[in-house]
Structure 1
Amino acid sequence: MNRLLPIEWIAALRFLNEGRLQTLFIVGGVAIGVGVIVFMSALLDGMQANIFRRVLSSQPHIVISRPKDVARPLRTERPGEILLVNLQKRSQLVASVDQWRKVREQMRLRGDIDAVSPTASGPGFAIRGDASESVTLIGIEPQQYIRIVPLPDKLVAGSFRLTTTDMIVGTQLADDLGVRVGDKLRVATANGTSATLSIVAIFDLGSKGVNQRNVYIELATAQNLLGLVGGVSSIDLTVVDPFQAEDVARQVGEQTGLLAESWIKTNNQFFLGLNAQKFSSYLIRVFVGLSVAAGIASVLVVSVVQRSKEIGILRAMGGSRRQMLSIFLIQGAVVGLVGSLAGSALGTLLLGLWRLAARNPDGTPMFAVTVDLGLYVWAAVLATLTGLAAAMTPAVRAARLDPVVAIRG
């Protein structure tokens, strides 16, 4: 077997075998570092995906609506005069998006947009006897809207269906008005229009305000109640890459001339928090990688000092500087690779223990944590490259040793 290996590999593996204790310690250090990287990466990615899913599963990524009405003076300044004007902001009335069907078709043709759903929404009141609650009426096309917000997955009672006489309400509104599936509520709007609708389902979107405020009805029913016959107040979009939503929204605004607001803009603090979490994850990986590199380098430097005579003998027997350099680079790469494999196994074990320990009170997992196969490959490649980089200094030092001095030394 040894005859099939180059001299550099034979010497590198023999050095590692002769210093078994040192090799074991440094491989263990690499394994711990890689295990921490795998565990923390999977845990932080799972946590971020869970938070992201909970926040964005109840809202569209981009909302297209009419530009806001702006008050303008009736006359402009003329040369030589000063015009004193006290402009008050105009109230924003519920109005339809111009040519919304054309805009909808344009959005469906874009490759960066995954789902498109027109909605007609506006304020109203849900009334039961003497009790009433202020609500937001949201008229939807059910089969399109569930691609934006997965309402069927959020139901706690009833079944998902919407006709012109149906409504879906939140858990908080149902509690406040004392209603359940099958009961009827009268819905009224400021323009004097009202309708009596049956509750077919109750949802829980994880937010008390949303569960108290949102009432989903069929699009045609909302159009009649809000005075938007044939129109919609907004077009909701889901994009392929949610983190590119702001760029897509800017392009959509330029394309349509309408107001396009992304979740990044409307949830700016949440977006900044996600970025901070990502940055902290990268920092953890960098510092763990640096500690692994320092450990490999320190052990190999000691190895060069301990094996100066062997290096001198190899040089005296005709070994080149390149071969001496290769011996220690091979040692660094082997240590990094073996340590990464052991570390990947350690990280997987830690994740398994975490899944068993991190449970909600009802026994369900706190959140899903999966490890992408690419993470293992990335860890192996990174650890191997780190081992090579860490071995560079001791390898150069070994290559520069004078054989006569090394043998005498």
Structure 2
Amino acid sequence: MRVQFSIALAHLLRRRRSTLVSLLGISLGVAFFLAVSALMRGSERDFLKRLVDNSPHITVLDQYRSARVQPAELRWPDAAVAISNVKPPVETRGIRSHRSKLESIEGWPGLRVAPVLRGSAVLTFAGQQQGVSLSGIVPARMKDVSTIDEQMVAGTLDDLAAAPNGLVIGQGLAEKFQLGLDSTVSMVTASGGARVMKVVGIFRTGNAAYDEGETFTLLKRAQVILARPNRVNRFIIQLADPQQARTVAAGIEQAIGYKSVSWIEASEDLLSLLLVRNIIMYSVVTAILVVAAFGIYNTISTIVVDKRRDIAILKAMGFSATDIRHIFLYQGAVIGLLGSCAGLMLGYGMMHVLASVELKPPGVSDVVHLPVWWGAEQYLLAIAFAMAACLCAAYLPANKAGKLQPVDTLRGAI
């Protein structure tokens, strides 16, 4: 093995220009692989973090995944007459026995839960009207399952507890109505409830639709305004491990009966889009390494052609076809390893440059940095792709060299 490796190095050093071109191609391929992968994976993780942090991991709704089976169908499942267009009884919507169900969910390990009553309302101020979503919350619980308290630009969620008619609104709505802390607005709901509400907090998430259309008040106040006394219509749940959301949601739905939607189920279209984007990204960066591998193929193929007599002499001395193949495979491996090391350093520098880039999109006040992922997984993946490309490129000429017949070569037949 030592002799084979020495011969491989001698071949590469003798053709320095071709070897350097091959090394440069692999280095640039690995560097661009790292830079593109870090940028794409970073943007994916940033998107998922925003999606997961700004929305519940699981939402339990006051509805069932499938319509309830009618009692007559349960009593006579094979009846000749089918029941259709059955109008459900008029009742106040909400999760029945929500306190006991809330205690049941709290018994699950690794989760935090908060009850919410959500409805629609219309805010009126100085002749302006705006339809909004009103969420009745318990501030202490809401802070455990939402980042809204961290996004407050004025006041806090705790201020709701000190103001019976307190209201927390988004900055977009505040700017539209020219509201500030302690401003008062009129609120009317579809059930006929009407109240004068006092602004005690303003938040900003960066989502224009959310900042203009979402409002919060105390749960008890929302129950009065929406005419749903002692009712909640959803549980908001946060998990220690968001990736377990689908499994936990299925377990909760089976336990309490109400529809439980995980963030994975609610965002299936977005997650499918990210998967397709990753496939496209890895296809592009792999193509760069494949193109670079052609340089290795060309270099080793030229060496095989030039060294046919030397190969014949080695075989005549006792080298087997496998030994000859190993010589040229070692050349591909050496170029792959050296190119990967140089590419890792170059790619690391490119990642630092990308991370320092600052962007300010039109109409946005905050400076945006390019999200770069620094995980070790992508370094290993880049080396694996580079080595696979190099060894595949080296195998074809190595196999050809192993098949050369020493007698025909030394006689000058080829």
* Root-mean-square deviation over aligned CA pairs: 3.5
* SS of aligned partner of 1:287: helix
* SS of aligned partner of 1:288: helix
1:152 is the counterpart of 2:149: yes
Cα shift readout 1:373-406 (whole Å, capped 9, x = no counterpart)? 3321222233223322332222222223233334
Structure 2 counterpart of 1:44: 40
Structure 1 counterpart of 2:370: 367
Amino acid at match of 1:40: V
* CA distance in structure 1 between the partners assigned to 2:397 and 2:91 by the alignment: 71
Structure 2 residue ranges without an equivalent (≥5): none
Shift of 1:170: 0.9
Structure 1 counterpart of 2:136: 139
* CA distance in structure 2 between the partners assigned to 1:399 and 1:92 by the alignment: 83
Amino acid at match of 2:173: L
Structure 1 residue ranges without an equivalent (≥5): none
Shift of 1:21: 1.0
Shift of 1:180: 0.6
* SS of aligned partner of 2:324: helix
Shift of 1:34: 1.2
Residues 228 and 84 of structure 1: is their aligned pair in 2 closer, same or farther, counting only changes over 3 Å?
Answer: closer
Residues 150 and 309 of structure 1: is their aligned pair in 2 closer, same or farther, counting only changes over 3 Å?
Answer: same
Cα shift readout 1:351-388 (whole Å, capped 9, x = no counterpart)? 33334445225683343213223321222233223322
Residues 323 and 240 of structure 1: is their aligned pair in 2 closer, same or farther, counting only changes over 3 Å?
Answer: farther
* CA distance in structure 2 between the partners assigned to 1:290 and 1:20 by the alignment: 21
Match of 2:26 among 30, 42, 62: 30
Shift of 1:273: 2.3
Structure 1 counterpart of 2:108: 109
* SS of aligned partner of 1:117: strand
What is the count of residue pairs matched by the alignment?
A: 403
Residues 80 and 63 of structure 1: is their aligned pair in 2 closer, same or farther, counting only changes over 3 Å?
Answer: closer
* SS of aligned partner of 2:377: helix
Structure 2 counterpart of 1:254: 254
* SS of aligned partner of 2:360: coil
* SS of aligned partner of 2:119: strand
Amino acid at match of 1:354: L
Matches within 5 A, 1:208-287: 208-239=208-239, 242=242, 245-246=245-246, 248-287=248-287
Residues 82 and 378 of structure 1: is their aligned pair in 2 closer, same or farther, counting only changes over 3 Å?
Answer: closer
Match of 2:388 among 357, 364, 385: 385
| % identical aligned pairs | 25
Shift of 1:14: 1.4
Residues 21 and 130 of structure 1: is their aligned pair in 2 closer, same or farther, counting only changes over 3 Å?
Answer: closer
Greater alpha carbon shift after TM alignment, 162-171 vs 193-202: 193-202
* CA distance in structure 2 between the partners assigned to 1:134 and 1:37 by the alignment: 48
Structure 1 counterpart of 2:9: 13
Matches within 5 A, 1:68-147: 68=64, 94-103=93-102, 105-106=104-105, 109-110=108-109, 114-128=111-125, 131-147=128-144
Shift of 1:305: 1.6
* CA distance in structure 2 between the partners assigned to 1:289 and 1:241 by the alignment: 36
Greater alpha carbon shift after TM alignment, 41-50 vs 116-125: 116-125
* CA distance in structure 2 between the partners assigned to 1:91 and 1:208 by the alignment: 36
1:394 is the counterpart of 2:397: yes
Shift of 1:6: 1.4
Shift of 1:338: 1.2
* SS of aligned partner of 1:332: helix
* CA distance in structure 2 between the partners assigned to 1:10 and 1:79 by the alignment: 83
* CA distance in structure 2 between the partners assigned to 1:37 and 1:87 by the alignment: 60
